[in-house]
Structure 1
Amino acid sequence: MTTTAAYVFGPGAGESPAASEKKTTVAAPPAACKADARYPKRELRGVWIATTQNIDWPSKAGLGADRQKAEYVKILDSAAERNLNAVFVQVRPASDALYKSSLEPWSQYLTGTPGKDPGWDPLPFLIEEAHKRGMEFHAWFNPYRASYGDSTAKLPAGHPARKHPDWTIKYGGRLYYNPGLPAVRDHVTKVITDVVDRYDVDGIHFDDYFYPYPVAGAKFDDTAAFRKYGKGQSLAEWRRGNVNTLVAGVDKAVHQAKNHVKFGISPFGIWRNKSNDPTGSNTSGMSAYDSIYADARAWIKSGTVDYVLPQLYWPRGHKLADYNTLVRWWSNEVKGSDVQLYIGEGLYRVGTRDDRTWTRPGELAGQIGVNRASKQVDGAVYFSAKQLLTNPLGAMDRVAKTYYSRPALLPLAEDRGGQAPAAPAGAKAAGSQLSWTPSSGARAYAVYQLPKSGKDCHTTDARNLVAVVSDPSYAAKSAGTYLVTSLDRLHHESKAVKVKVDAV
């Protein structure tokens, strides 16, 4: 049954011309609602999709394009079922590309042969499928890994490390680009900017790999570059400065290319221990600052990242690195800054016996409860997609049931611009099917179902949020009053339009 639509007040409220044409009344502003902490209005919920060594996708090299597409869709559908809203897909595992590039060769993880053209460009498909489901797409890059082997001769012709062997350092049986060389930083930045320019990504993402993790008995021989560029610094200071310079350069380049694209990093979970620095965390694990020269505090203070996503892959109560302790430490680090904080969750460890705590089905959900208790934590990302599908101990189902029973909008990143689109026009219901005219600038639409009391809390929390859809339609599950809003790509939200469904 078709009904007319009336607009309700929201942020920047005002009546739509479409509503006045049919002489519908404008509802009174919603009475103030107390936010229900169980249903946050905005929260990032993501999953890492690792392509290196075929960890998550594709499941093995050499599959046909249709099989690759089907596997990816299965991952996204599993994420959507649990109301996740972001994917972090590894597009550059080791100076290679899971997309068509003139700068680096095709990844071996697509075909099994480094440099071999798979016959299609996966990246537009990967992005489009995420956007179809109302998810952000973050392109994940490894900045310094050049090859899993240590021979430039075995790399495809045209590989940057083969053309510029002087850029590389052999270490622990692998080949790395030297972070101390300006030419390396320029190349990495160029590769990333090329993707931002040519593809509709929402974010650029680095993980925890900067200078390589220590290998016993091995020396990372960057002596020549240090002599040339060190300028009186200690080796450690110089190395951290090299990483900071790259981070700042990528941040600037990304936002100059497209201001709306976010840039963030997922550092190792321990910045420094108190034994290293009195302002470090009360932990006893590896120090990222001292071991791999990753100074996340510097990135936060300088604002050269939009978010940090520390990998807290330890359980609550861990003797060396307690999850609760680390959430508190990182929360304190971002306090007062414009840098958002998400937590990297060790889904891959659930059910393993390296720590008995991970054999408890509720440990992962308990960690999300810790996150929710911190005002600074804006969401979580799970490593990795394989375990999203296998769901060890039912842990992800428990997380979804306890914390993700409603969808959530993405946290706003004010520095990235954007504005709320016009509210949906021409909204109507035909039977159970809601539909409306697409709004200019809208990436998606939020659909709310009001309770029988009619109390409207849609601007406060997500208790009534039933869906985030990319198409201008929604199939209602039950009769009642619905609200629909428009969202831009950063999830700035429009006023709401009200639509009544009389029967389903």
Structure 2
Amino acid sequence: MRRLNLRKHCYILLWFFLALAVGAVWLLGGRQAEQALPPFLPDLQAGAAAGGKIQLEAEDMAQEKELAGVWVPYMSLDTADHTQKAFEENFQSIAREAKEMGLNALFVHVRPFSDALYPSALFPWSHLLTGEQGKNPGFDPLAFMVDCAHSLGLEFHAWINPLRVKTAETPKALAANNPYSVLQADCPYYFMEWEGGVYLDPAYPYVRSLIADGAAEIAEKYEVDGVHFDDYFYPAEDASLDSEAYALYMETVETPLPLLEWRRANISALVAEVYAKVKKARPQAVFGISPQGNIENDKNIGADVQAWCASPGYVDYICPQLYYSFENEALGYAEALAQWQALPRHENLALYAGLALYKAGTDADGGTWLLSDDIIRRQIEAARASQCSGVVLYSSQYLHTEQTQAEVANLPFWENTEKEKP
């Protein structure tokens, strides 16, 4: 317990100086203003206010046209021989296919495992490029992908997994300069372990700054149209994930937040910091998040989507993953879309709908995806009717497969092209 006590005093001092810097704490989650923020949190009000000042520079970009996007996950970027030629030809094929079917935006994985598909001062090279994390591929994949997308008139959004270091299976080994390899011996509390995976713990200011600085590094060095988070925040609700950090927090504040509320505050602090740093690096870029479609599930893994939608300074857009058929018994698509439409939103927030192209032609959702071959088209029409600003399909792997061919042929985006439907 001695180490815990020493760290406790360190965090008390840290919070003291942070309080001097920001001047005061603010109202959080409906609690009274006199109740202090968790000691691991920066001043969220200051962060949100700073983001709000530069929000106007990006608002038109988020809403001026209908977004028709597709996610390009890391699996789509892996090639068998790990050569520059293979990588570039593969991405060109993905981008051209998206363009030919009338899409206008790519959301591309550039940091899936606390790594980088670009030369980074903070994260190691991704294993996707050479088969070995940390090994230099000899070229800049992100620079190539951004140029390729823009040459075709496609937006390029850099997709980041903020917390994930590794799963039980991937990658096989971490590089010596992976944050886990560098920090684990002296700062094991910066990481959470779950089912064989390792995740960064956003309770700590250093961790949040590492993630935010990595996002800003991308926005500063590359002409990306945006930076994007998906739905991976805390990997589970289990209290054992971050028990030491929460115990320390409980000891250092007079009126602590409940665990899940504290976690949401940690993630919101991260989101506000990322927003502010991305905007500082590239004011015209947008920052957005694609949370799970079930709002209650989001809250349980740390995603306070209500706060992000209601207040400026967090995100320019929200893109819930509405991966449900219309007939899904637990939560149908129309019901889920209506729930998101009903959330209070600040005036500059764009709402996109994430759609499950990967389920088309399968027996998912009790077989309801087999009932017709125009489900995605009708979901797009419903999103348009409810004043959504666009949709994003998951994923590029399913744009040209036998399983999804009938659904893809019925997508409305073909109307924007001269390309013959498949």
TM-score (norm 1): 0.65
* 1:254-274, Cα deviation, whole Å (9 max, x unpaired): 1111110100000000112xx
Partner residue, 1:293? 302
SS at match of 1:47: strand
Does residue 56 (structure 1) correspond to residue 76 (structure 2)? The answer is yes
The residue number in structure 1 matching 2:147 is: 128
**Could you tell me which residue of structure 1 aligns to residue 161 of structure 2?**
142
Question: Distance in 2 between the 1:151 and 1:80 partners?
Answer: 31
| Contact 1:75/1:389, CA 8 A, preserved across alignment | no
> Aligned partners of 2:344 and 2:100: how far apart in 1?
31
Equivalences for 1:311-322 in 2 at 5 Å?
Answer: 311-322=321-332
Query: 2:178 aligns to what?
Result: 159
Partner amino acid, structure 2, of 1:244? S
Who is 1:396 aligned against? 408
> How far apart, in 1, do the equivalents of 2:170 and 2:382 lie?
46
Per the alignment, do residues 204 and 153 of structure 1 end up closer, same or farther by CA in structure 2, a change over 3 Å counting?
Answer: closer
Q: Offset of 1:115 from its aligned partner?
A: 1.1
1:400-434 CA distance string (max 9 Å, x none): xx354126xxxxxxxxxxxxxxxxxxxxxxxxxxx
Q: 2:285 aligns to what?
A: 261
Counterpart-to-counterpart distance in 1, 2:214 and 2:129? 19
C-alpha distance in 2, partners of 1:363/1:150?
34
Q: Give the deviation of 1:153 after TM superposition.
A: 11
Following TM superposition, the consecutive aligned residue runs of length 4 or more in structure 1 with deviations greater than 6 angstroms are 150-153
1:246-302, CA deviations, whole angstroms, 9 ceiling, x for partnerless residues? 001101111111110100000000112xxxxxxxxxxxxxx2212x12111110112
Partners of 1:138 and 1:322 lie apart in 2 by: 28
- Structure 1 distance, partners of 2:171, 2:318, is 33
Paired-residue identity, %: 37
- For 1:95 and 1:111, the matched residues in 2 are separated by 16
How many angstroms apart in 2 are the aligned matches of 1:387 and 1:221?
Answer: 34
Shift of 1:227: 2.7
Partner Cα separation in structure 1 for residue 93 and residue 373 of structure 2: 24
Q: CA deviation at 1:373?
A: 1.1
Cα separation, 2, equivalents of 1:220 and 1:174 = 14
State the structure with more CA Rg: 1
Equivalent position SS for 2:157: strand
The gaps in structure 2 that reach 5 residues or longer are 1-62
Question: Do residues 90 (structure 1) and 113 (structure 2) align?
Answer: no
Across the aligned residues of Structure 1 and Structure 2, the Cα RMSD in angstroms comes to 2.2
Alignment match, 1:235: 259
Contact residue 46 and residue 381 of structure 1 kept, 8 A: yes
Which whole-Å CA distance do the structure 2 matches of 1:362 and 1:246 have between them? 39
Measure how far apart 1:336 and its partner are: 5.6
> Which of 195, 205, 212 does residue 235 from structure 2 map onto?
212
Match 1:353 to one of 360, 363, 370: 363
Single out whichever of 387-396 and 93-102 deviates more from structure 2: 387-396
Aligned-residue offset at 1:96: 0.6
The equivalent position to 1:188 in structure 2, one of 211, 215, 218, is 211
Write the distance in 1 (CA, Å) between the matches of 2:82 and 2:172.
Answer: 27
Match of 1:308 in 2: 318
TM-fit CA distance, 1:169? 1.8
Please name the residue that 1:3 is paired with: none
Match of 1:339 in 2: 349
CA distance in 2, matches of 1:300, 1:327: 14
Letter in 1 for 2:229: F
Q: Is contact 1:87–1:136 with CA below 8 Å preserved after alignment?
A: yes
Q: Shift in Å at residue 220 of structure 1? A: 3.6
Q: Residue in 1 aligned with 2:243? A: 223
Separation in 2, partners of 1:387, 1:395: 10
Q: SS in structure 2 opposite 1:205?
A: strand
Q: Are positions 1:251 and 2:272 aligned together?
A: no
- Show structure 1 runs of 5+ residues with no match: 1-39, 273-286, 408-465, 468-504
Q: Quick check: which one's helix share is greater? A: 2
Q: Kindly tell me: are residues 335 and 243 of structure 1, through their superposed partners in 2, closer, same or farther at Cα, counting changes over 3 Å?
A: closer
1:385: which partner in 2? 396
Please, which of 372, 378, 397 is the counterpart of residue 366 of structure 1? Answer: 378
Task: Give 2:245's aligned amino acid.
Answer: A
On the 8 A contact 2:127/2:171 being kept in 1, the answer is: no
Q: 1:378 to 1:69 in 2, by over 3 A?
A: same
Cα 1:365/1:109, change in 2 over 3 Å: same
CA distance in 2, matches of 1:121, 1:337: 38
Deviations 1:366-403 (A, max 9, x none): 1111112112x01100000010122614211211xx35
- What is residue 334 of structure 2 aligned with on the other side? 324
Q: 1:334 to 1:65 in 2, by over 3 A?
A: farther
Check conservation: 1:97, 1:106, Cα contact below 8 A: yes
AA of the residue aligned to 1:297: Q
- 1:43 aligns to what? 66
Q: Which has the higher strand share?
A: 1
Distance in 2, matches of 1:378 and 1:334, equals 16
Contact kept? 1:152, 1:161, Cα under 8 Å = no
**Alpha-carbon distance, 1:148 to partner:** 2.0
Relative to the length of structure 2, the TM-score reads: 0.78
Distance (whole Å) between structure 1 residues aligned to residue 227 and residue 193 of structure 2: 27
Contact 2:68/2:392, CA 8 A, preserved across alignment: yes
Counterparts of 2:348 and 2:240, CA distance in 1: 35
Q: Is the 8 A contact 1:210 1:293 kept in 2?
A: yes
Q: In the alignment, is the contact (CA less than 8 A) between 2:101 and 2:413 conserved in 1?
A: no
CA distance, structure 2, for counterparts of residue 294 and residue 264 of structure 1: 13
- Closer, same or farther in 2 for the Cα pair 1:129/1:153, shift >3 Å? closer
Cα distance in 1 for partners of 2:111, 2:413 equals: 32
- With over 3 angstroms needed to count, the CA separation of the structure-2 counterparts of 1:98 and 1:294, relative to structure 1, is same
Q: 1:220 to 1:203 in 2, by over 3 A?
A: farther
**Paired amino acid for 1:79:** A
